[in-house]
Amino acid sequence: MPIVTDTPTTRRVAGKPRVHVTRRLLPSVEARMAELFDVTLNEEDRPLSRAELVAALRGSDVLVPTVTDRIDAAMLAEAADGTDGLRTGLIANFGAGIEHIDLSAARACKVIVTNTPGVFTDDTADLTMMLILSVPRRLGEGSRLVRDGRWTGWAPSQMLGHRIGGRRLGIVGMGRIGQAVAHRARAFGLEIVYHNRHRLPASIENMLGARHEADLDRLIAETDILTLHCPASRDTHRLLDARRIALMKPDAFVINTARGDLIDEEALIAALQSGHLGGAGLDVYASEPAVDPRLIALPNVITLPHLGSATIEGREHAGEKVVANIRFWADGHRPPDQVLEGWA
């Protein structure tokens, strides 16, 4: 497709931009894309291979990937090999997290990267709060008891869990989602302590009833329920490792709806099997979509299939943001959700 203008940050496309979408989106979003763009959809809704992603980068003005599509420097170089440069000028990511995209390599190729920030904040916070409530009260165990036909009726000492009111909730990562979790948790009488790269303004701390703890180890050692809400990066890889898990209170609970590689799964499983931890609520995993069968077998662990953003409303809103970013870019303007290289 002919390019009318070209700069390191924007590109005006003559006619409809050619857009390649790597996974199925909501029908309303796909219909809007088909109306506005020359779009290629993934009718089979399966993860694309590396070779297929390279081909999509070579043949499209815009790539719309998801968190399961790893786009690295070698892939971008391969897609540009033998041409006057990379045809793709925009990677319009469907989702807020962009750790699967090499931002430095994209910048070097003069490719803009956009995401969909803020769309899934409430959805993920709701799911996190559900796990914070469910794991201490043993909802997963209770549900299996009924479904398996093993429930024999009410008894005063049966399926006793823990009250969460008055417990200390430790939040690691106090961005949009962490703050939304704190807002919900306060209504349930939890004491809120958080650790973040940058301390929040006092006005926000007061509004959320949250106390800042600069020492991550101390926060982990003093909390009853620990929930993780930081992005995946080199600095946060296995942030909750064997040493830090050993610091946790006996019978403490771990909640993770962020990214699987924030936790050393082997160390977590060992602590759960030994009885050191009271339980865990997990929506993400180190080798997703593979889930360690030992986690599934543990009665005090709730395992979910990455449902944090899985609402019709959220996915539709994310699709609308992707469409808006593409339209701004194709018209030669800076997209509203452009990601800077220093993001994370």
Catalytic residues: 259, 288, 306
- Per-residue burial over 132-162, b = 16 or more CB atoms within 10 Å of its CB, e = otherwise: bbbbbbbbbbeeebeeeeeeeeeeeeeeebe
The one-character DSSP state at 336 is T
CA 208 to each of CA 176, 192, 204, 225, 228: distance values in angstroms, whole numbers, following the listed order: 12, 8, 6, 17, 17
Check the CA dihedral 131-135-139-142 and report its sign.
positive
Coil, strand or helix: which one is 245? helix
Distance CA 129, CA 133 (A): 6
Burial of 342 per CB tally in 10 Å (0-12, 13-18, 19+): exposed
Distance CA 63, CA 93 (A): 8
Which residues pair with residue 71 across a beta bridge? 101
Query: Would strands 90-92 and 62-64 be described as parallel, antiparallel, or unpaired?
Result: parallel
Burial of 90 per CB tally in 10 Å (0-12, 13-18, 19+): buried
